Amino acid sequence: MECDPREHIRRAAASAMQMFYEVSCTSSEYVKRKLWLYATAPECPWCAASEGCSLRGNGFYSRVEPAGTRIRRFLCRTVGRTVSLLPLCLASHKTGSVDRMEEHAHSAESHSIYKVAQEVEFEGAAHGGGVPGRALYRQVTRSVVAVAVFLALMRGMWPDRFAHLRPRVSDFRRHLGTDRVLVELRSLFGEDLREAPTPIGLRRERISAQLVAGYG
């Protein structure tokens, strides 16, 4: 898929606060091209079209990673709530990209999470930053668990397409023919992912500590 800011935004993918902005580029390209400037107001997720409601621009907010990221936000004056347009590449209610999460999960299929965290720590140190030690291990573990939970959910929601697959990135990559599985699934099923948990879906729900501990 090409990164085109004119692509439509899916109203049906709305949660209370976020909708997917259908640009399928990487997070670095999103920042480089400042694609938030091209985001246009979708239909209001709270008001029926017949009511004549139209969302108004409500500025932008920043994301920590990648540096320079901005997210477009709109306001419904009728209900006094805002909706932000999240590009397909960025995690929901979590810093960073889903591509990065996918790479962590894919690496963890052939290496221990500890080994993956070590590689991430080394990479961060080489660039003069990064998250140290135990905090990084927890961060990588949560990414791996979130991806596994999401892929298992996809198998359950669309058994005719995915039931024969294991909830592993490698299986889904082969089946879908892409190395950006999470972005592809968001693009294909965005209208239903309002009920899938963050940081890949749009419904705010923390992954249980017990489940995370089970991957340790």
Task: Please report, in tens digits, the pLDDT of each residue of the chain (216 residues total).
Answer: 445 433 333 333 343 478 999 998 999 999 999 999 999 988 888 886 556 677 889 999 998 888 899 999 999 888 888 999 999 999 998 888 999 999 999 999 988 887 877 776 655 544 445 555 677 788 888 889 999 999 999 999 999 999 999 999 999 999 999 999 999 999 999 878 888 888 998 887 665 544 444 445
For the entire predicted model, the pTM comes to 0.80
Q: How many Cα atoms occupy the beta-carbon half-sphere of 21 within 13 Å?
A: 32
- Residue ranges covered by each domain of the chain: 11-87, 98-214
CA 144/CA 212 separation, integer angstroms: 9
- Helix ranges restricted to H, the chain: 27-32, 98-108, 113-126, 133-157, 159-162, 169-176, 181-189, 209-214
As separate numbers, helices (DSSP H) first and strands (DSSP E) second, the chain gives: 8, 4
Could you count the other beta carbons within 10 Å of the beta carbon of residue 59?
11
